[in-house]
């Protein structure tokens, strides 16, 4: 059974650097926005982590213990290398100095090459706060002469995922082909019964069907079955035009 680390970053067991760390305001955001990319990178042998910032509770059909069980089930499906919960407060997430130090400490201990934050335009204040917090923590992570644990470290890139509570016509900068990983993504999302199944309309299109249509839309734009959109503020470098689909 996968372990959800809840200790302070300074007490984390030593680990090899992660290739990527998805930082999520709530347990389920990582699955919803990047479940396919996460499963794909895991299958390619990358060390992938998820840091949930809060418990995500209370919600209408969830509870702390149920959400933890659902998170463990989803983690088992995606098979990520590492998952933790920073213990910040749901609905009250703020980019405070204290929270910045905490998240930067995770970066120094886990040393992810790439970090993933929520897209900056969202209706959910926790998501907007998380984006600010992650960007500031990325900068702080490289500070010297500090009390933070671990060595100074700067995540090479920050990418933004779309898990937005707005019906935006989004414009991603890249789309990952998740055709072979849509099923794993769907199962990872369905693990959160209290969030996506319980109390939701059962008439088509169900939430899961709408998510599949979204994935098919992004896949269609790259002539693949399913895709997952990602944004970036900094331009991307590619080794060769041949790396593109
Ligand atoms: Zn969320």
pLDDT digits (tens, 9 = 90+) for 14-43: 889 999 999 999 999 999 999 999 999 999
Kind of pairing between the strands at 227-231 and 174-177: antiparallel
Residue 17 confidence (pLDDT): 98
pLDDT, tens only, 182-225: 999 999 999 999 999 999 989 999 999 999 999 999 999 999 99
Do the beta carbons of residue 16 and residue 47 sit within 8 Å? yes
Q: Give dist(CA 207, CA 201) in Å, integer.
A: 8
Considering the domain boundaries, does residue 123 fall inside one? yes
Taking the centre of ligand 1 as the mean of its atom positions, its distance from the CA of residue 112, in whole angstroms, is 21
* pLDDT given at position 14: 87
Helix (H/G/I), strand (E/B), else coil: 88: strand
Structural tokens at position 216:
């098919």
- What integer best gives the mean pLDDT of the chain? 96
Residues with CB under 5 A from ligand 1 (ion): 25-26, 29
Helix (H/G/I), strand (E/B), else coil: 45: coil
The pLDDT of residue 21 is: 98
Residue 1 has pLDDT above 90, yes or no: no
What is the percent of the chain with per-residue pLDDT over 70, rounded to a whole number?
100
pLDDT at 165 over 90: no
> Contact 198/61 with Cβ under 8 angstroms?
yes
- H-helix segments, 79-177: 97-110, 125-140
Structural domain includes residue 242: no
* 106 located within any domain: yes
| Lookup: tokens for 234 | 């900094």
**Residue 30, domain member (yes or no):** yes
* Range(s) of the domain holding residue 43: 4-231
Q: Any idea which residue has 């479940």 for tokens?
A: 35
pTM confidence score: 0.97
Q: Please report, for the domain that includes residue 159, its CATH number.
A: 3.40.50.10320
Sign of the torsion angle spanned by Cα atoms 125, 128, 134, 135: negative
243, part of any domain: no
Q: Is residue 78 part of a domain?
A: yes
In a domain, 49, yes or no: yes
C-alpha 238 to ligand 1 mean position (Å): 31
Given a cut of 90, whether residue 166 has pLDDT beyond it is: no
27 C-alpha to ligand 1 centroid (Å): 7
In the prediction, which pLDDT does 2 show? Answer: 85
Calculate how far, in angstroms, residue 166's C-alpha sits from the geometric centre of ligand 1: 12
- Helix H segments across the chain? 29-43, 64-78, 97-110, 125-140, 182-190, 193-196, 207-221
Instruction: Determine the distance separating the centroid of ligand 1 and the alpha carbon of 241, expressed in angstroms.
Output: 35
Asked if residue 100 is part of any domain, the answer here is yes
> How many domains are there within the chain?
1
């Amino acid at each position: 059974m996968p372990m959800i680390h809840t200790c302070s970053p300074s007490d984390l067991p030593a680990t090899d650097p992660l290739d990527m760390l998805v930082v999520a305001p709530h347990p389920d955001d990582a699955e919803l926005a990047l479940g396919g990319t996460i499963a794909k990178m895991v299958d390619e042998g990358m060390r992938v982590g998820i840091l949930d910032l809060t418990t995500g509770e209370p919600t209408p059909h969830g509870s702390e213990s149920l959400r933890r069980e659902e998170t463990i089930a989803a983690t088992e499906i995606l098979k990520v290398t590492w998952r933790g919960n920073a213990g910040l407060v749901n609905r009250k997430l703020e980019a405070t100095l204290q929270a910045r130090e905490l998240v930067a400490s995770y970066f120094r201990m886990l040393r992810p090459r790439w970090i993933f934050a929520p897209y900056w335009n969202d209706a959910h204040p926790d998501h907007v706060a998380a984006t600010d917090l992650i960007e500031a923590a990325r900068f702080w992570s490289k500070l010297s002469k500090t009390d933070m644990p671990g060595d100074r470290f700067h995540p090479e890139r920050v990418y933004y995922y779309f898990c937005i509570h707005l019906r935006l016509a989004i414009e991603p900068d890249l789309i990952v082909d998740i055709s072979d990983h849509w099923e794993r993504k769907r199962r990872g999302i369905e693990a959160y019964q209290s969030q996506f199944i319980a109390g939701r309309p059962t008439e088509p299109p169900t939430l899961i069907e709408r998510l599949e249509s979204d994935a098919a839309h992004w896949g269609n734009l790259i002539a693949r079955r399913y895709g997952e959109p990602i944004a970036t503020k900094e331009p991307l470098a590619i080794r060769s035009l041949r790396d593109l689909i």
